[in-house]
Amino acid sequence: MPLFPRLTSLWRNLLHRKRVELELSEEIQAYLDMLTEAKLREGLSPREARRAALVELGGVDQVKEQVREVRMGSLIEAVRQDVRYGVRVLLKSPVFTTVAILSLALGIGANTAIFSVVNGLLLRPLPYPESDRIMHVWHTPPQDSFPGQDRFSVSPGNYLDWKAQSQSFEQMAAYEYAGFSLSTGGDPVPVLAIAVASDFFSVLRTQPAVGRAFTAEEEEVGRDQVVVLSHGLWQRAFGGDPGVVGRTVTLNSRGFNVVGIMPAGFEFPQEAELWVPLAWDGEQRRVRSIHDSAVVARLKPNVTLEQAQAEMSTISSQLEQQYPEENKNWGAVVIPLHEDIVGDVRPALLMLFFAVGVVLLIACANVANLMLARGANRQKEIALRIALGATRGRVARQLLTESVLLAVVGGVLGLLLAGWGSNMLVRLSSGSLPASTEIGLDKWTLGFTLLVSLGAGILAGVAPAVQFTKSEMSEALKQGTGRSAAGSVKQRTRKALVISEVAMSLILLICAGLLIRSFWKLQQIDPGFDTRNTLTMSLGLSPTRYKEPAQQLAFQDRVLERIRALPGVVAAGVTSTIPLAGGGSKQPYTVEGRPAPPVAEQPLAQTRYVTADYFKAMGIPLRAGRFFGDQDSEKGAQVIIISEAMARQLWPGEDPIGKRLTASFHLDKGPREVVGVVGDVKSNVQETAPAATMYMPYRQTPRPWMTFVARTASDAQNFVPVMSKAIYSIDREQAVTNVRTMEQVMEQSLSGRQFHMTLLITFAALALVLAAVGVYGVMNYTVALRRRELGIRMALGAQGRDVLRLVIGQGLALTLIGVGAGLLAAYGLTRLMASLLYGVTATDFLTFFSVPAVLVAVGLLASYLPARRAAKVDPIIALRSE
């Protein structure tokens, strides 16, 4: 069958409908006229001829209609009519239309926004060629030393053995985070630098857009002063000048030759600004006890994840036997990169996706309810259409067209909301979402919105379409008012809808409640120090300018002196890492007089290197003994301060002061005497039990990486300029990073949770409002339906109070059934979110008690308003109105 004439006909029928119709009229008219002439010729009178012709024709409009039905695109035409009619109907009731469109817009918008995140993070592959073959390879640490940790950084020695021995990977490359400061004239700016093995870019199969990547020779110390810039840094710091390739830039006071610029959008690991070669000297290459590297690798095309995992397990058990001292119980795990990056946010994202899905369902139920309520006024119209021969299918299609229309308009509005919303999401997430650059509205998101809109429209229209075309309804209509019979059928549907709305919103509210309780518990945590008025700044000294420990200490002393001299600074100290920020290391130790197992089996304690006043600056209390003092210098006796938890663990019921222990990483310094016990401090918020912590004096264990901590007399934020100036006045080449008050550190450590919680609260609140509107709507309608009955009751002596009780009772019953169903569902569902909770169980009594109470209260309010109206019914008017 030739396609072309059909397409041209379709085109003409749809776009030149007027002309097509006009021609049809003319054609039929000509036929009629010619037929009349023929009848005249047969000898009939003009009137008879005309009549006979009309009879033979069988009605001009009927013939036209029959022609229209066979035309190409007749279905499209019918839909067009439905849509035009639907628009007219919807415009006639603007309040209904607005409320319905807004409900759907909110539901669809929320879904689209969350989908854009789910799509960007979970569904879309990473932006590297054949990214599904890129893996992270991590150590699995011994569980007794690192309980709960399933991934651990890798040491140079082990990485090099992995790389040399494994056959499963095309390439393998280690990378490490390095804090660098970039000087381009003014104050040095901190940049996130990544030190990478030369195969790094080949693993990701992404080459610089300008210039080249690193060569294997550049992994040698001394030849490693080359740098590849990110597109972003190139734009920011060098104005996008391609001539920067080949030039020398100053990083950490050393000159680096720029060899390449990565393409825009390449950001691995997240927020990386520049890459330098990862260079180890001969000695460093043999180190197996310092775990600093992450390892990426590309699977060979015909090797499966399982095969690679099996090979890595074999290699690491060989390494365990070969180097038991460092490698005992250290395994290896291969994880797809995408999985590794988004694995942590998946449960929270899926929960949010579920939540917006529920919100949309509630919105659909609401629109269905509104349509049913409005249908009361349309009964006549619909009955008329059915009486005039419209099939039930035709009427149902009309109703569905209306709800789909609402949903499509809602979808367009929702898309606008989502565009704004997903920007908000990225901003709100403040770093708690990985790869946030991938989030946005793309064709998948648009397709999703379209599908969801159509789906929502059909979902919302099904109940009304079925209800209004039920035969009992039209029968009832034929008999006159017919309100009671038809009304009761629809009332059942409406009540069921409202009950499910209440139940669904209860589920969301309970989820939100549990998150709020978790968050609240987390905020109540005593971190073990005073977060108020504490400012911290970090600094990594250039290893060339401050090569000798004595130089590092001298720099530190001079800065501390300046900071202390600032008016308003109460105390100032230095620490290697601050608590709550997730950094710091756990180090092995042995106790004097007790058996000393090999390093790999020794107990571990959180370790910080601090100056004398660190404890005062942080507000960590002294429990026994003393803080560090001037006597604990390079030349003084080796000393150590331990936390309460560690003291309890090692010497329960004994005085730990004067006991001696050895930090295995500082073996050469010999055993250290415990001179003090300080309060426990949380290393991270999730920690349930305080971890054993040991503190060593900075002067006895100097290092180039330091964080200055100052306790201030007033808001610490005000001290940011003066304190950084104090540091820059000593050396303006050393960039200050991580300028944060301890309150901000605390906040940041909770920001991921806060993000999920804020969103879920928003969605739950939305659900609550929609459900309240639902209850209100159905009660309002009930009151309207029962006006006559209520009028009779009042005429027979019922008081306003009785009517009030009657109506509220009914609303309350609906709410309670919904709450009951919701509680059952929530009880089953909340355990799925256990991993997102802290300090509360998934069936937390307080939440399961208070949330339903809130919902019942809202239900009461929503039925009180219609009830009050019912109580004011004037019996005379009510009786007359029927």
CA distance 105 to 414: 4
| CB closer to another protein, 71 vs 346 | 71
Q: Which two tokens stand for residue 3?
A: 């396609």
How many other CB atoms sit within 10 Å of the CB of residue 69?
A: 11
State which of residues 18, 47, 70, 186 lies at the interface with another protein (CB under 8 A): 70
| CB closer to another protein, 56 vs 150 | 56
H/E run at residue 443? helix 443-468
52 binds another protein (CB under 8 A): no
State which of residues 16, 45, 56, 129 lies at the interface with another protein (CB under 8 A): 56
CA distance 71 to 818: 51
In contact, 170 and 296? CB cutoff 8 Å:
no
Dihedral over alpha carbons 121, 122, 123, 124 (to 10 degrees): 30
713 binds another protein (CB under 8 A): no
Q: What is the DSSP string of 603-644?
A: -EEEEEEE-TTHHHHHTPPEEEE----TTSSSSS--EEEEEH
In contact, 530 and 619? CB cutoff 8 Å:
yes
| CB closer to another protein, 37 vs 187 | 37
Identify the bridge partners of residue 493 per DSSP, sorted by sequence position: none
CA distance 543 to 545: 6
DSSP, collapsed to helix, strand or coil, labels residue 659 as coil
Stretch that binds another protein, among 4-12, 147-155, 392-400, 473-481 (CB under 8 A): 4-12
Q: How many Cα atoms within 13 Å fall on the side-chain side of residue 274?
A: 30
DSSP state of 548: S
Q: How many residues bind another protein (CB under 8 A)?
A: 28
Residue corresponding to tokens 């989030």: 439
State which of residues 45, 66, 81, 98 lies at the interface with another protein (CB under 8 A): 66
**Judging by DSSP bridges, how do beta strands 248-251 and 169-183 pair with one another?**
antiparallel
Stretch that binds another protein, among 52-60, 131-139, 218-226, 870-878 (CB under 8 A): 52-60
State which of residues 1, 75, 689, 796 lies at the interface with another protein (CB under 8 A): 1
State which of residues 22, 46, 69, 543 lies at the interface with another protein (CB under 8 A): 69
Min dist CB 12 to another protein, Å, is: 9
State which of residues 38, 83, 335, 570 lies at the interface with another protein (CB under 8 A): 38
| CB closer to another protein, 5 vs 629 | 5
Distances (CA, A) of 537 to 540, 584, 726: 10, 15, 11
| CB closer to another protein, 28 vs 825 | 28
Stretch that binds another protein, among 2-10, 612-620, 657-665, 872-880 (CB under 8 A): 2-10
| CB closer to another protein, 39 vs 787 | 39
State which of residues 22, 33, 98, 637 lies at the interface with another protein (CB under 8 A): 33
Min dist CB 391 to another protein, Å, is: 20
H/E run at residue 588? strand 585-591
| CB closer to another protein, 8 vs 484 | 8
Identify the bridge partners of residue 192 per DSSP, sorted by sequence position: 179
Q: What are phi and psi of 183, to 5 degrees?
A: -105, 125
769 binds another protein (CB under 8 A): no
389 binds another protein (CB under 8 A): no
Stretch that binds another protein, among 67-75, 174-182, 565-573, 689-697 (CB under 8 A): 67-75
State which of residues 72, 570, 769, 879 lies at the interface with another protein (CB under 8 A): 72
- Planar angle of CA 794, 798, 803, nearest 5 degrees: 85
| CB closer to another protein, 64 vs 623 | 64
CA distance 578 to 320: 33
Min dist CB 339 to another protein, Å, is: 55
3-state secondary structure 712-775: ECCCHHHHHHHHHHHHHHHCCCCCEEEEEEHHHHHHHHHHHHHHHHHHHHHHHHHHHHHHHHHH
DSSP state of 248: E
Min dist CB 81 to another protein, Å, is: 19
| CB closer to another protein, 71 vs 805 | 71
42 binds another protein (CB under 8 A): no
Identify the bridge partners of residue 295 per DSSP, sorted by sequence position: 137, 174
Q: Is the peptide bond before 269 cis (omega within 30 degrees of 0)?
A: yes
| CB closer to another protein, 49 vs 117 | 49
Summarize the chain as % helix, strand, coil (round to 5): 60, 15, 25
35 binds another protein (CB under 8 A): yes
Min dist CB 63 to another protein, Å, is: 5
| CB closer to another protein, 60 vs 591 | 60
Dihedral class, residue 482 (left if φ above 0, else alpha if ψ from -120 to 50, else beta): left
CA distance 308 to 137: 10
Stretch that binds another protein, among 32-40, 593-601, 811-819, 841-849 (CB under 8 A): 32-40
5 binds another protein (CB under 8 A): yes
State which of residues 15, 19, 37, 85 lies at the interface with another protein (CB under 8 A): 37
34 binds another protein (CB under 8 A): yes
58 binds another protein (CB under 8 A): yes
CA distance 262 to 265: 8
Stretch that binds another protein, among 50-58, 168-176, 238-246, 614-622 (CB under 8 A): 50-58
2 binds another protein (CB under 8 A): yes
6 binds another protein (CB under 8 A): yes
Residue corresponding to tokens 């890492």: 577
75 binds another protein (CB under 8 A): no
Min dist CB 209 to another protein, Å, is: 54
Min dist CB 34 to another protein, Å, is: 5
30 binds another protein (CB under 8 A): yes
**Total residues belonging to the chain:** 882
CA distance 497 to 514: 26
| CB closer to another protein, 69 vs 789 | 69
State which of residues 9, 131, 664, 762 lies at the interface with another protein (CB under 8 A): 9
| CB closer to another protein, 23 vs 325 | 23
Residue corresponding to tokens 């304190």: 723
Min dist CB 58 to another protein, Å, is: 5
Burial letters 716-725, b for 16+ CB under 10 A, else e: beebeebbbe
Min dist CB 40 to another protein, Å, is: 11
State which of residues 25, 45, 62, 881 lies at the interface with another protein (CB under 8 A): 62
Which of the residues 10 through 29 are near another protein (CB under 8 A)?
23, 26-28
Stretch that binds another protein, among 3-11, 134-142, 318-326, 515-523 (CB under 8 A): 3-11
DSSP state of 590: E
CA distance 88 to 379: 17
Residues making contact with another protein (CB under 8 A): 1-2, 4-6, 9, 23, 26-28, 30-31, 33-35, 37-38, 56-58, 62-63, 66-67, 69-72
